[in-house]
Structure 1
């Protein structure tokens, strides 16, 4: 188990190191000068040059990369070109919305998908199975931004149960804040729940055909007992993979939903930073999202080891 843990940690560190290089090079390849963009089209060249010197943009790329990485290791993400405040403060303000939204959507997705997948697998090829799989296919096919607008039209404009957008802040109370995140979380959770339910069904059907399950049935267990006592645990391995990937996708891919609902989260921060050419914010947020992806992947690997004893034995 210790060897497996060290291997996963080494993989995590190498992934992050490679990600910093890729992100920096890609940002450097973006055309245009942030200083000239900030000063405007008719800015004095000397003023643009002074701003470049102030922002450190006149340094060689290798020096700027090393300074950026040193800052990341020390917890210093730099200062925003546009807002003139530390990037860490911007991220800290926005992640207080994006992270709860992601967790909310992930919980909804899991609570919907696993029972639906188990229900469909236990009634394989029946009317219930066909119905569940048809609904999940529809959930995958519907774009989440279109579904988000449909939710706004029905529940915000027509029924007036929820607001059409915005976020009151956590100072307004837990329930009002969660109510503001409910429609965005549902819009994010629907396609992910559809994917997860199909994976849960397929994995459970495959597991129910294994020899140890047939042996358990031969010893007198009913199909339901064999499913819950033996098959479900082993069928969770691919499901854990999808849940880990979904967390990363929801955290990094909520840009459209946050813009639909006017949520001041990380998605809108990245979108605004790109339009304003605030490249230090873009780099910092992207590497933070990469870090989240790699950490979640590491935790999923640890969950594998908890579920599969062969990994704990080094198998």
Structure 2
């Protein structure tokens, strides 16, 4: 198990190094001058030169990359040009919104998808299977931002059960904060639950056709016991893969939903930084998201090894 973890950690670190080079290079080749965007088109050449020196834009590219990468290793993500604040502080203020939103969405999608997928697989070809997979297909097809607008109209405007947008902050209490995240979490969770339900159904159907499942049924084991104790555990490998990808998507892909609900999260911070040409903020947030994806993938690999011990030997 130690060699298994060491190999995964080594691949994760290598991924972060390659990602840092790619992110920095992409930010460098983007057209436009951050100093001119900040000062405006009427800025004098002297003012532009002074700001470029303050931002370190006149230094060699390799030196700027090494300084930036070294800062990442020490937790220094640089200083925002627009907000005049450390990028770490900006991320810390926004991640307390995006992370709970991603976790709530993942829990909701998992709680919905796995029982639906098992139910559909156990009733293959019947009405329950057709209705469940039809609803899942609809969930995949409907854009989450349109579904978010529908939720706002029904539950916020018409029924007035939850706020339509905004975030009061956790200082006002846990319930007001969670209440403002309910609709965004549902808007994010249902499309992901539709995908996960279809994957769970396919994995369960493949496992249910195996010889050891028929043997268990022939021995007189209850159908419920065979489904949940034997079939589900062996079908969890593809399900865990999708869960890991979904968490990374929910954490990194909430730009549209956070803007629809006016949530001050990481997605909205990236959107604002891109429009304001605040590249140091974009680089810092993107690298944080890349690191979160790497960590989630390592955790998923560990879960693989726990579910199927044979993978530890192969790894």
TM range (shorter): over 0.9
Aligned pairs for 1:199-238 within 5 A: 199-238=199-238
Aligned counterparts of 2:246 and 2:164: Cα–Cα separation in 1: 25
Paired position in structure 2 for 1:278: 278
Output aligned runs, 1:83-232, within 5 Å. Answer: 83-232=83-232
TM normalised by structure 1 equals 0.99
Q: Indicate whether 1:243 and 2:254 are aligned.
A: no
Structure 1 residue 313: Cα displacement: 2.6
1:312 Cα shift?
2.4
**Aligned residues of 1:106 and 1:247 also touching (Cα < 8 A):** yes
The more displaced of 220-229 and 261-270 is: 220-229
Structure 1 match to 2:261: 261
2: CA distance between counterparts of 1:213 and 1:3? Answer: 33
Q: Hey, which bits of structure 1, 4+ residues long, moved more than 3 A?
A: none
Please give the alpha-carbon distance, in whole angstroms, between the structure 2 residues aligned to 1:267 and 1:220: 52
Gaps of 5+ in 1: none
Supply the distance in 1 between the matched residues of 2:70 and 2:49 (Cα, whole angstroms). Answer: 25
Deviation at 1:232, TM superposition (A): 0.9
Report the 3-state secondary structure (helix = DSSP H, G, I; strand = E; otherwise coil) of the residue aligned with 1:82.
coil
Distance in 1 (CA, whole Å) between partners of 2:39 and 2:84 is: 14
| Contact 1:254 1:267 (C-alpha < 8 Å) held by counterparts | yes
Shift of 1:228: 1.7
User: Displacement, 1:158?
Assistant: 0.8
TM superposition shift of 1:188: 0.3
Counterparts of 1:13 and 1:285, CA distance in 2: 17
1:64 and 2:79 matched: no
Q: Is the 8 A contact 1:3 1:314 kept in 2?
A: no
Q: CA deviation at 1:2?
A: 2.1
**Per-residue deviation at 1:241?**
0.6
Q: Distance in 2 between matches of 1:2 and 1:197?
A: 33
Cα displacement (A) at 1:123: 0.9
Q: Per-residue displacement from partner, 1:202-260 (whole Å, max 9, x unpaired)?
A: 11111111111111112221332211221111111110110000000000000000000
For these two proteins, the number of residue pairs brought into alignment is 315
Secondary structure of 2:235's partner?
helix
Is the 8 Å Cα contact of residues 20 and 287 (structure 1) preserved in structure 2? yes
**1:77 has 2:100 as partner:** no
Contact (CA 8 Å) 1:4, 1:311: kept in 2 or not? no
